[in-house]
Amino acid sequence: GQNIDQPTEMTATEGAIVQINCTYQTSGFNGLFWYQQHAGEAPTFLSYNVLDGLEEKGRFSSFLSRSKGYSYLLLKELQMKDSASYLCAAMDSNYQLIWGAGTKLIKKP
Amino acid sequence: EAQVTQNPRYLITVTGKKLTVTCSQNMNHEYMSWYRQDPGLGLRQIYYSMNVEVTDKGDVPEGYKVSRKEKRNFPLILESPSPNQTSLYFCASSSYRQGERPTNEKLFFGSGTQLSVL
């Protein structure tokens, strides 16, 4: 079957570096997406990886290893506004998205 | 401004009373989709559409209907709502085109509809 796994919740302090992991099993693979979702709001696009390696975009970076079925989202210099849920989604061979349940990132006081 | 407009934002109804949630996009996207989001379960796809007059079932289509008579609109219809359809609903669209290799066709989401069925 198709499956996405990511941690339910993570906590971190302001200014920290946070790595959110995602493992996936899909029938075929056409890329992996990360979305950010603040409570009660719509998800917004963060990154897309289809080739192995690290893609950097400001404070956010995303990594993909296709052979391991593994991705991570790296957030640097954590800010208050980064408190949100982070959704991992893999696109299968039928171009359908398989979604993880999301990782809620909580900022420690 | 490029956007997906979804209405209403909040809706409280009673079991069995037909309702429609509207969705419209102004980006000329061919692909549109409906999701529901429940705590701990993530986004689950209800129906999707690759183009006008083409709709397909997602993972949880039971109890829902959709139509795609025009490219910009993709309404979600609940003919006889039940309490287990209480959820947060999102409409989304992307520039993905069927038959073409995807290249980062990100989804644009509407602002969501919080539905409560009593």
Q: How far is residue A87's CA from residue B92's CA, in Å, rounded to a whole number?
A: 15
pLDDT digits (tens, 9 = 90+) for A67-85: 999 999 999 999 999 999 9
B37: closest CA of chain A, how far (Å): 9
Distances (CA, A) of A103 to A77, A94, B91: 18, 25, 21
Q: Which amino acid is at B86?
A: T
Residue A100 touches chain B, beta carbons under 8 Å: yes
pLDDT by position in tens, chain B (length 118): 889 999 999 999 999 999 999 999 999 999 999 999 998 888 999 999 999 999 999 999 999 999 999 999 999 999 999 999 999 999 999 988 777 766 677 899 999 999 999 9
**Contact criterion met (CB < 8 Å) for B112 and A101:** no
Q: Which residue has the tokens 């975009």?
A: A57
**Which DSSP string corresponds to chain B?**
---EEEE-SEEEE-TT--EEEEEEESS--SEEEEEEEETTTEEEEEEEEEETTEEEE-S--TT-EE--SSSSB--EEESS--GGG-EEEEEEEE---TTSPPS----EE---EEEEE-
Q: Which residue of A99, A103, A104 is the best one to mutate when testing the B interface, meaning the one whose CB has the most B CBs within 10 A?
A: A99
Which residue of chain A has the CA closest to B111? A42
Residues of A in contact with B106 (CB under 8 A): 33, 45, 48
* Burial bucket for residue A93 (CB in 10 Å: 0-12, 13-18, 19+): exposed
Report residue B20 as tokens. Answer: 């429609």
